[in-house]
Amino acid sequence: MKLNFSERKGVFILSKRLLVLITVFALVFSLSFAGCAKKEGAKEETKEPEVIKIGVVTPLTGDVATFGQSTKKAVEMAVEEINAAGGVLGKKIEVVIEDDRNDPKETANVVRKLIDQDKVVAIIGSLTSKCSLAGMPIANAKKIPMISNASTNPKVTLTGPYAFRVCFIDDFQGQVMAKFAYEELGAKKAAVLYDIGNDYTKGLAEYFVKSFKELGGEIVAEETYQQADNDFNAQLTSIKGKNPDVIFLPDYYQKVSLIAKQARGLGIKATFLGGDGWDSPELFKLGGEAIEGGYFSNHYSQQDPDPKTQEFIKKFEEKYGEKPDALAALGYDAFYYLVEGIKKAGKVDSVAIRDGIEAVGKAGFSGVTGKFTIDENRNPIKAAVVLKVEGGQFKFVKRVEP
């Protein structure tokens, strides 16, 4: 490797030639991106917009891409329905969907792009809490309402008055399962095993422990692991010695099925409990017999008899040939929640829309994941459903009201 300026010494001298070259390079690249920006911006200069532009930021690539794809599908379906029915306030809706790769830095970029270049009046997203926490401060500063469909971290809506969500928060899911285990299953001794590096599983576990103790139960073991771990025998052996009635495993389906298999292999008979991360058909494929008889809380159930839910499932299946997961249902609700807010506002103005969304939330919104009203921090107070894993299916057990 040869050095560019090896013959010169010491002082800071800019080589003129190199400077010119770098300027040219920088110009070409900035042009390539300023050029497209201008065109997009120019279109939206007019005062009275013909269409209502709504931005969507969700991870279409990266580690949680499947969740982002579900959200995208649900939103696209909702837009089609609304436009087919004549739009909102007599105007068609146009969505701009952008990928953030589940990287907070990209979310910040996307939110600014959607607001500055695409001139959206409201944003749906982002999916994970860490991305929402990076994007929502910007939306708040720019006074653009932003509704997340799946960010369960309590801090998300504390970023400002323009931050909303349609899912329940981590605390609630932990409470629901604790209550269900203690009251319905009659469990007195519980163990928890969770990923210490994941805010989602940690949040659920913490609140499960807290609520279970408050109810009068006993937490006999609290074990943790790291995201990269695949061998849980050490933790499970320790848990086995304490002989719990239930084991709370608030992780995603891949980890849960591994843990369940290893636990049954060690002869642990306790019932497994979990959170919405279990919601995937992969759970049966990976977990097999081991996961049978487990219970978990979820945002909605495909077997929920509510006609609104059933209609959504039917439409989604017709359009995409697959059953919608919880993220799709939540994305669909987030979009309709926003649309109701726009209707309430009566005009296409983001400040009015924010007030509209809040008013709709306060009065109560009914979506495919159930009815909810929002509290003073704009967090939905809604019921969770408890599902049972039985014969390769998720059986609807009951709806747990907050």
Partner 1 sequence: MIEQLLSNFMSSYQIQILSFIGIFTILAISLDIINGYTGQFSIGHAGFMAVGGYVAAYLTFYHQVPFILATLAGALSAAFFGLLIGIPTLRLRGDYLAIATLGFAEIIRVVLLNLDVVGGARGFAGISNLSNFDTVLIITIISFIVLYNFTRSAYGRALQSIREDEIAAECMGVPTTYFKVLAFVVAAFFAGIAGSLYGHYLMFLHPNDFGLLRSIEILLMIVLGGMGNLWGALLGAIVLSILPESLRNYQGIVYTIAVVYLVGVAISYQKGKQNIARWLAGILIAGLAVGFILIYGKELIIRYAGQMRMIIYSILLILMMIFQPSGLIGLARDLAKPLKERLRGVKA
Q: Can you list the positions of beta strands (E) in 4-63?
A: 51-58
143 in contact with partner 1 (CB under 8 A): no
Question: Contact region for partner 1 (CB under 8 A) — 6-14, 47-55, 326-334, 350-358?
Answer: 6-14
Given the complex with partner 1, which of 101 and 264 has the nearer CB atom?
101
208 to 267, contacts with partner 1 by CB under 8 A? 226
332: closest CA among 377, 366, 293?
366
Which residues in the 330-349 window bind partner 1 by CB under 8 A? none
Q: Does 174 bind partner 1 (CB under 8 A)?
A: no
> Is position 193 an interface residue for partner 1 (rule: CB under 8 A)?
no
| Residue 48 CA: distances (Å) to CA of 44, 347, 375, 385 | 9, 10, 34, 43
76 exposed, middle or buried (CB, 10 Å; 0-12, 13-18, 19+)?
middle
Determine contact, residues 111/146, Cβ cutoff 8 Å: yes
Q: Applying CB under 8 A, which of residues 43, 92, 105, 269 lies at the interface with partner 1?
A: 105
CA proximity to 34, closest of 115, 117, 107? 117
Nearest distance in Å: CB 349, partner 1: 20
Return the number of the residue (75 or 368) whose C-beta is nearest partner 1.
75
Pair 192, 247: CB distance under 8 Å: yes
**How far, in Å, CA of 162 to CA of 103, rounded?**
21
Applying the rule CB under 8 A, the residues between 107 and 136 that interact with partner 1 are 108-109, 112-113, 115-117, 129-130, 133-134
Structure tokens at 399: 């709806």
Verify binding: residue 46, partner 1, rule CB under 8 A.
Answer: no
Q: Binding segment for partner 1 among 24-32, 235-243, 275-283, 379-387 (CB under 8 A)?
A: 24-32
Polymer length of the chain: 402
| 246/313 Cα distance (integer angstroms) | 32
- Which residue of 54, 67, 73, 103 would you call a contact of partner 1, by CB under 8 A? 103
Which chain residues interact with partner 1 by CB under 8 A? 1, 3-5, 8-12, 17-18, 21-22, 25-26, 28-37, 39-41, 60-61, 72, 97-99, 101, 103-106, 108-109, 112-113, 115-117, 129-130, 133-134, 137, 153, 155, 158-159, 196-199, 202-203, 226
